[in-house]
Structure 1
Amino acid sequence: MKMRDMFLITMLLGNLVFVGLAPGQTGANAISAQIVASRSSFDALRVDAVDGRSPIRVVTVLSFFNAERVGENAPVVDGLLAFCIDEGRPVAAVNIYPWDGNVCHELDVLSRQANLRLSYDTGVQWQPAESAAVFHQIEGTDPPSPNPAVRLRQIKHFASLFSATLVGFNSDDSDRQELRRMPTPLYRYQVPSPEKARGVVDGAVFAFVQGNDPEVLLLIEAIRDNQTMHWEYAFVRASSGSLTGSYRGTVTWRAEKFPPDSNPIGSHFTVRQPFGK
């Protein structure tokens, strides 16, 4: 596997470097170059599990472009989405995109418990104290199959029962839009030990997108509880707009518009670096 796609994150704290523009680069092409450069800057990222259980690695899962967002605040909207992986399951998302003169790193917890710490060379550190991911059991379904291939078919079937809506960024929600679910999971779990993964046996993450820009993430997990197994799901925001998530046409999740994102112990945190710095 290529280093630009995946690499091991050491247990030591370190730096996440924002990569500046080359001399003479200007405009939308320069911003795109800076976003692409941010991908290679991940080799300086250090994330550690707070309880010291295991190394955490980072996987880049999506490169995206959103023509609908191009405008005064963003001459180009393309970006990258990466997951922090602990014991084979995603525990946080790192969403990199340009906005309002900055390269933004939007960070969200994906697991039930927050158990990581991420540091930047500017001295900024994100260590969330809790998770906003609320998991619910998928009722009335067959239990997870012992066969991984069959479990994946089950997961994809369940994903087809969910939908998500971008309620809007505008004050009157005039930009409301039903989001498209990408048919292929962004990431399939690779859990070596359910005991170490807090009972998680298998799972996958799907994206609901505008263009191919993720606005909502859907996690579907196979859970072992004592001697029985069942399915659970959670929606997690990947956007600062107002959002809803539905199961079989009934809204089961809502996310507020423009949530607080400046608390370094919050489950949703954004780090901003001016273009060219």
Structure 2
Amino acid sequence: MSRIVYVNGDYVPEEEAKVSIFDRGFLMADGVYEVTSVLGGKLIDFDGHAKRLERSLTELDMAMPMSADDLLAIHRELVAKNGIDEGMIYLQVTRGAPGDRDFAFPPEDTPLTVVLFTQNKPGLADSPAAKKGISVISIPDIRWGRRDIKTTQLLYPSMGKMLAKKAGADDAWLVEDGLVTEGTSNNAYIVKGNQIITRQLSNDILHGITRAAVLKFAREAQMEVVERPFTIEEAQQADEAFVTSASTFVMPVVSVDGAALGDGTPGRVAARMREIYLDEMRKAAI
């Protein structure tokens, strides 16, 4: 059965989905995106993703293409049409297709392009990787300076994941001025004693929706959260580490640049935060 996707107001089989070759998302990476997970057929932290979408669009001088309620209705319709129990919904909004290529922004009345599609991921919450942990390498962070905007400029993160794969690792942490910013597609954390340490919010990192929820739950669990940068060397000497994202939730990190953390297995804090996060998110899913 063909997957049903959403393109500019229409629900169509993916084979029939079309976007103009002049779309600025295609030509300029002039667009933003969000990924919302689905567990038990319900959306995880949709409000957070909708608010971040609006913020990203505002930072790029684009308006929301529709209300959050209308976006929610589309998400739910795609879940229903594609029979998604566990998986993800990808949403992308671009500045549209003005009719020809030009560096200048198109006229303000140019319709935005809005595309959504589902990814069916049975067993998403019961990932084998979460039980054994992942390994990361470090690479230089050479991205543009506005990483807080969730744009479709994902070439370097993609290259980073491939560098990790070539090195026999699972992912990469990005390093700037000797300090870890974040992962290729996730926020990064280390644990030392009762402290969870992660870089503070700024233009340097994505303002993770999962990050916000996990830190809230950690504080409620009486853990000390310290928001500051850390080095790779500090990470290698930590008790444990983990990353967070909408698609991996809380994922333990057991090796950094070849150095095993602790006994080389997922740590107690990461495992507990994953358990708490999934439990609370399931309760709040819509």
Q: Same fold (TM over 0.5)?
A: no
Which structure is higher in helix share? 2
TM-score, length-scaled by structure 1 = 0.26
TM-score, length-scaled by structure 2 = 0.25
Q: Which has the larger radius of gyration?
A: 2
Which structure is higher in strand share? 1
